[in-house]
Amino acid sequence: MKTEEQRHSQLELCIPYVFGRLNPGNRKQFEAHLETGCEQCKRELSELYEAIALLPLLLKQEAPPSGLRQRILSRLSSKRSEPPRAAKPIPQRGVVEASVTKAPPRSWYLYASIVMGVLLIISLLFFLNDQLRTTGELEKKLTDLQAQIQEKQDILGILQVQKVEILQLANMDAGSQAFGRVFWEPEKRHAVVQVVNLIAEPADKQYQLWLVKEKKYLRVGEFDVNKEKSNVFAVMTLPVGERQEIEGFAITLEPRGGSTQPSGAIQLRGATK
């Protein structure tokens, strides 16, 4: 079996093949190589043909000088009036006529230079595009990491305060193993909700934490649970903070973006009184 390097060893034949500069033997061998399914050579040929199609667009179009048509017609008229020239004498046998050195055709080099320039520009654009995409992905990852670090610092800040209230959240479904906790700092009303083993919500749903005060549900915030994490922490701000103002907490599954009042069944609940 040929290695990748051997399969693509004929890549250098793509340019002369496109311009018809291969001899019959090499052309037949190269076409047999293409029939083996070499994707890299086929891709190179496709890019070359596209570049050749763009060549006319690279030529600068200029208007002919004024009076050119009249000068051409004048020369044609003068040539018609000239007497026929005498035929050149045939050189005698034994005399070798000096051969005229013809300038090598330059179209191949011109086309090859233009094609290579176009391919270089295309390759540079692809390279810059990859670099920009990579830079954007790295910036997004960095932003996500910074957000995660900030969230962990906020969680640790709440858990390390001297006065922190803790409330257990029990599962309302006897067949489920989900449970949760709410840690809150009364003075600043900062809170952390922890849930474990809640099922991942659908794409159009989101879990929502509620605070119960005077038997009314006050909206606290939303958080997500996915299949990759069974233990989820979310930092939130409570509408009230003192223990005597809080009768309990509840978690429901609501439409994504949250609701003003619970519309789904209560998943977890805990009471302070």
In three-state form (DSSP H/G/I as H, E/B as E, the rest C), the secondary structure along 158-184 is: HHCCCCCEEEEEEECCCCCCCEEEEEE
Q: How far apart are CA 179 and CA 30, in angstroms?
A: 68
**Total residues belonging to the chain:** 273
Can you give the pLDDT at residue 269? 95
Which range in 12-21, 131-140, 235-244 is most confidently predicted, on average pLDDT?
A: 235-244
Percentage of the chain exceeding pLDDT 70: 75
Q: Judge whether residue 197 has pLDDT over 60.
A: yes
In tens, the pLDDT along 235-263 reads 999 998 788 889 999 999 999 999 999 99
Q: How confident is the model at residue 204 (pLDDT cuts 50, 70, 90)?
A: very high
In tens, the pLDDT along 161-183 reads 668 888 999 998 878 889 999 99
Contacting residues for 247 by C-beta, under 8 A, at least 6 apart: 212, 213, 214, 215, 271, 272, 273
Q: Where are the domains of the chain?
A: 7-56+108-160, 165-271
Tell the CATH topology of 165-271: Immunoglobulin-like (2.60.40)
Can you give the pLDDT at residue 101? 46
Q: Judge whether residue 35 has pLDDT over 80.
A: yes
Q: How far apart are CA 242 and CA 165, in angstroms?
A: 9
Q: How far apart are CA 145 and CA 37, in angstroms?
A: 44
Which of 239, 252, 142, 103 shows the shortest CA–CA distance to 184? 239
Across the beta sheet with 231-237, what order do the strands follow? 216-223, 205-213, 248-255, 266-271, 165-171, 179-185, 190-196, 231-237
Q: Judge whether residue 87 has pLDDT over 60.
A: no
